[in-house]
Amino acid sequence: MSGAPNSTTPNGHLSMLPIPYTVTHFHRENADTVTLAMEPTDGAAVPAWHPGEFTMLYVFGIGEIPVSISGDAASGGPLVQTVRDVGAVSHAITELRPGDTLGVRGPLGRGWWDGVAPDPENLLIVAGGLGLAPVRPLIYQAAASRAGYRRAAVVIGARDPGELLYTTEYSTWRAFGLEVAVTVDHADESWTGRTGLVTKPLADLMLDPERTTAFLCGPEPMMTATAAALIARGMPPGSIRVSLERSMKCGTGVCGHCQLGPLLLCRAGPCVGYDEVADLLAVKEL
């Protein structure tokens, strides 16, 4: 956890009080998904955070939900988060516009690099649907540090072309030297790219399994299928990182709603090693 100033009390305990933030920028990604940029209303700096961490976003009078941070951790700029309209709170967040206020707690949780061996030779990032939002900070890092990796590949999947996120950025990522493959489950008349699950372009990817660290984010069936495909090609489970979702209510490991077996994902995750959770994910409805 980052230990950011607005995530703790003077006694060092995690705060349960949301900090007012003001929306400074709004961008519609697709029909039901938006990206917001926010800054503390009191003019303070946005706390430092690490890729993979999340915040609890609170809409006054409606409720609070966990949302992964999807901006550039090195920018020092506004807090950037991408939200899909799937419930009462997320709907209210997607209705916010510049000048509106919401509450923020965090950053919280463990990020992508927490527990990863330093300086992996190759990076593989696989995202499905909204799972591209939590890995986008990783992609920004990989682009900025491209010379430090022998290979850096990004595989992006979505149900259909209309659900793809950040489509205007793909060419920029490629220009920085990242290998970017995009596929959709169901094509429409406008789609000229790949069709199929993310495991399809993954199978075509040249891979050095013993010298690669993989980061997976998306629906659990997609992550488990992708992890199985990578393990079948010789990648150690400990070299695979996944971001898991459960019903996070407090964000501080107190309420227990996000429990996955012995893990409280708001504190032990959301980013964890696949070797830590493979057996747990195999248990139906756990």
> What is the pTM assigned to this prediction?
0.92
Which CATH number does the domain housing residue 48 bear? Answer: 2.40.30.10
Q: Last residue of some domain: 108, 140, 171?
A: 108
Distance CA(272)–CA(46), nearest Å, equals 25
Confidence of residue 15 (pLDDT cuts 50, 70, 90): low
Least confident of 8-12, 70-74, 89-93: 8-12
Last residue of a domain, one of 73, 108, 143: 108
Domain range holding 85? 5-108
On whether both 32 and 77 belong to a single domain, the answer is yes
Amino acid (one-letter) located at 35: T
Residues 150 and 195 in one domain: yes
Cis peptide before 201, with omega less than 30 degrees from 0?
no
Percent of the chain scored above 90 by pLDDT?
77
pLDDT, residue 6, reads 45
pLDDT of residue 164: 96
| One domain, residues 89 and 134 | no
Burial of 126 (0-12, 13-18, 19+ CB in 10 A): buried
**pLDDT, averaged across the chain:** 91
The count of domains in the chain is 2
93 lies in the same domain as 129? no
Contact 68, 243 (CB under 8 A): yes
* pLDDT for position 7: 46
Residue 254 placed within a domain: no
DSSP H or E segment with residue 79 = strand 79-84
Look at residue 1 in the predicted model and tell me its pLDDT. Answer: 35
User: With 90 as the cut, is the pLDDT of residue 101 above it?
Assistant: yes
pLDDT at position 10, please? 41
